[in-house]
């Protein structure tokens, strides 16, 4: 996503539910795969969250693949930015395009979550959304579940969606679906839109969203496969 000034800033996070170790990066500008940078921060272990020039420096020091701005800029994003400028530079309130995330459970019942985003077209002043914030857009805890979020980050930040879902599962014994639906209802009540994907340590999976659709897919060890886009779409 192009910022208000026509630059590109990338956010990502990853979390291991077994140890609750996490790595997060905001406003990275040159790492080809920001979630790989988040993973390197997790593995390094000294810090959890790096941003801007420091994140870029850490990436170079750890020999992660680099790229210039042109590598990140697609024709579709250029079109959106041109539309944004033509409309007078307002905020992209529709947020039709967004985050990519993944949640998983392994054969030992350990869960993990990872989320990556280019943010919102026209973001200003170093704006950071929920994606790289542990407990908001990304969270994993073996005692509850792993959560990855997409949507209007300002609202997901205020609700602390990832941690809130996990807390309801762990402390109230709610199912993944009930917890996800309840927290998304809270987001909607505040005026926000978006969705979540959730995985539990028992292999249970859930997703929820309060928009007309959300690109989503899931796979189980029993061979179940589901891919869908719109709400109420048959598997």
Q: Which residues are catalytic?
A: 99
The answer to whether 148 and 196 are in contact (CB under 8 A) is: yes
Copy the structure tokens of residue 8. 């590109």
| Cα 165 from Cα 43, distance rounded (Å) | 26
């Amino acid at each position: 996503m192009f910022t208000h000034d026509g630059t590109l800033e990338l956010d990502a996070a990853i979390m291991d539910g077994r140890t609750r170790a996490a790595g997060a990066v905001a406003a990275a500008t040159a790492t080809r795969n920001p979630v790989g940078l988040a993973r390197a921060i997790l593995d390094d272990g000294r810090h959890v969250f790096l941003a801007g020039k420091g994140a870029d420096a850490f990436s170079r020091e750890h020999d992660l693949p680099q790229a210039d701005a042109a590598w990140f800029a697609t024709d579709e994003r250029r079109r959106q930015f041109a539309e944004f400028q033509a409309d007078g530079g307002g905020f992209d309130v529709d947020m039709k395009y967004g985050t990519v995330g993944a949640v998983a459970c392994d054969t030992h019942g350990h869960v993990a979550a990872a989320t990556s985003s280019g943010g919102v077209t026209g973001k200003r002043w170093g704006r950071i959304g929920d994606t790289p914030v542990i407990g908001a857009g990304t969270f994993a805890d073996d005692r509850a579940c792993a959560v990855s979020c997409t949507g209007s980050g300002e609202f997901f930040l205020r609700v602390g969606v990832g941690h809130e879902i996990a807390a309801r599962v762990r402390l109230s014994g709610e199912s993944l679906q009930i917890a996800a639906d309840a927290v998304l209802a809270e987001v909607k009540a505040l005026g926000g839109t978006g969705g979540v994907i959730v995985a539990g340590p028992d292999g249970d999976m859930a997703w929820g969203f309060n928009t007309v659709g959300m690109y989503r897919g899931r796979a189980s060890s029993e061979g179940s496969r589901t891919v869908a886009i719109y709400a109420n779409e048959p598997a």
